[in-house]
Amino acid sequence: MPIDVKTVKKIADLAKLSLTSAELEQYSTQLEKIVDYVEQLQKLDTSQVQPLAQVHDTTNVMRPDEVKPSLNPDEVFQNAPARQANYFVVPKVIKGTTA
């Protein structure tokens, strides 16, 4: 299945990646190969096979509603690139937009 540049652009936008036009071209060729491979797999007759979302054969794993101590602030911010008081700091985002 051909993957055009427009599709790559959309995927990149969803992943918050900005790609150059050369990269868009490059990835469209590469993604096409991957999708072709999946298409091969699609040819297998799986009508008799139950869809598998988990490899475990278990259900209903739950825990009781109990509180345990949370991390202390130093641990919380150990990997944070930017911290202000007890907040994580991220580049300005405009409310309601995800782009």
Partner 1 sequence: MDLLEKYEPIIGLEVHAQLLTESKIFCNCRNLYGAPPNTLTCPICLGMPGTLPVLNRKAVEFALKMGLATNCQIASYTRFARKNYFYPDLPKGYQISQYDEPLCQHGRIKIRVNDTEKYIGITRIHLEEDAGKSIHGSEDTLIDFNRCGVPLIEIVSEPDIHSPTEAYAYLTKLKQILEYLEICDCNMEEGSLRCDANISLRLKGQQKFGVKTEMKNMNSFRGVERALYFEIERQARLLEQGQPILKQTLLWDEDKGEARPMRTKEESDDYRYFPEPDLVPLVIDSEWIDQIRATLPELPDAKYERFIKQYALRAYEVNLLTSERALADYFEEVNKLVSNPIFISKWIVSEILRVLSQEKISISNFKIKPAQFAELLNLITNETITPNVGKEVFDKMLTSGESATSIVNREQLVQVRDDAKIEELILTILSENPEEVNRYKSGKKNLFGFFMGQVMKKTQGKANPEATMRLLKKHLD
Q: Which is nearer to partner 1, 31 or 77 (CB)?
A: 77
- Contact of 1 with 35, CB cutoff 8 Å: yes
The string of DSSP codes covering 21-58 is: HHHHHHHHHHHHHHHHHHHHHHTS--TTS---S-SS--
Q: Does 49 interact with partner 1 (rule: CB under 8 A)?
A: no
> According to CB under 8 A, which one of 21, 45, 47, 63 is a site residue for partner 1?
63
Q: Does 16 interact with partner 1 (rule: CB under 8 A)?
A: yes
Stretch that binds partner 1, among 24-32, 33-41, 42-50, 87-95 (CB under 8 A): 87-95
- Contact of 71 with 79, CB cutoff 8 Å: no
Q: In angstroms, give the least distance from the CB of 35 to partner 1.
A: 15
